[in-house]
Amino acid sequence: MNQSGPRFVNKEEKLKKRYQAATALLFLFLSACSLVEDSSQPEPHLTDEASSKAVPDTEEKISPTCKIAFTTDHGGDLNFDIHTMNIDGSNKVQLTSYEEDGNNWASAWSPDGSEIAFTSDRNDSNGNHDIFIMDLDGRNVRQLTQTWGDDRNPLWSPDGTRIAFFSDMDGDDEIFTMDTDGKNVQQMTANTAADWYPAWSPDGSQIAFVSNMHGGELELYLMNQDGGSIKQLTSDNTFRVPFAWSPDGKKITYLSNQDGKQAIFLIDLKSEEISQLTSDDFYNMDPAWSPDSKKIAFSAYPMVRETYVLNEVDIYIMNAYGENMKMLTPNNEICGSPVWSPNGAQIIFACNVDRGPLELFSMNSDGSNIQQLTNNEDNDDFPIFSPLCK
């Protein structure tokens, strides 16, 4: 723990720090809009696919009232709000209001699907973020943390009894857990480094996180749910977020930027063996496991003549061994943030169509039946399924 006391920075510096990691993909998409495109023949647009592709839906149906929470950036100006909608794009509900309550983001469903935890700078004249929870309809908002620092990225434990988050309340970013009413706060890490993005194992017994506690770049670490037995899992000095637990709890995928080429890697937690799943011919992002732990969806853009083609970011799937890779989206759009439906039949993702705002789409897990779910002047991203979706 830092013994030198709190570090006070101005509001502009706080805002830069606060949004840098959480909006990295969003800024990638938006910055790609300004790139000069090549002069190749025009290809079908994602909206063409969504409006005209007559492909039968999968046999595995999911309830049309299944809820998706997502984050909207109003006007691309870092004005964040949380929304929900049905899986077919109907019944959109804005749960928060940045105009009245400040920014609201980093949402997470409770395991029973009745509440949403989120980060917000409401109620704080210094622009610091705290952790809140609200009911599914956006009502009954309760503030769980109130510190001088930034408390961010809440994530419920699988049994619904604890919430993990990271905070610089002691002067450095550390991992904390607390009861769902904000009581019984426990500090899991204590060092002068940056400890970020706690993620519970599927059985709730462990927490993975990223840290530079041993100097150098960020690496992936694992600890028990009480903060004990911290173990370093990677040591290549090129680790990148995000990382993702396999639903069976046996593996973790992560990104590594070795030789300037970002690839997806997998670590087997039993053997601690690390495998590279994707080639160096693509810049890879957003690995997301299928519910059965057999497939991984991700976004990637290709390298052509030693240059990455940033105006062609597509959604792919592969098996858990990095084999049988298949591109699911048309290769003239900018797409990312893939998320599997709980039954594995569908994938929700965000796309920057015709260099306009980010919109949300759905498709079957084989790439068929693409449907556009949102259509507005704001950026919609970071979709997450309610755990009640069946």
- Position of tokens 């973790």? 252
For residue 214, the model assigns a pLDDT of: 84
Cα distance between the two ends of the chain: 44
For residue 322, the model assigns a pLDDT of: 95
The DSSP 8-state label assigned to residue 332 in this structure reads T
For residue 60, the model assigns a pLDDT of: 61
**Residue type for 288, please?**
A
In sequence order, what are the residues at sequence separation of 6 or more whose Cβ sits closer than 8 angstroms to the Cβ of residue 331? 43, 312, 314
- Position of tokens 């000095």? 237
Q: What is the pTM of this model?
A: 0.85
In sequence order, what are the residues at sequence separation of 6 or more whose Cβ sits closer than 8 angstroms to the Cβ of residue 382? 70, 71, 105, 107, 337, 350
Burial of 270 (0-12, 13-18, 19+ CB in 10 A): exposed
In sequence order, what are the residues at sequence separation of 6 or more whose Cβ sits closer than 8 angstroms to the Cβ of residue 200? 155, 156, 157, 158, 164, 206, 207, 225, 245
130-135 and 115-120 beta bridge pairing: antiparallel
Q: Which residues pair with 200 in a beta bridge?
A: 207
pLDDT < 70 regions, the chain: 1-61, 259, 304-311, 331-332
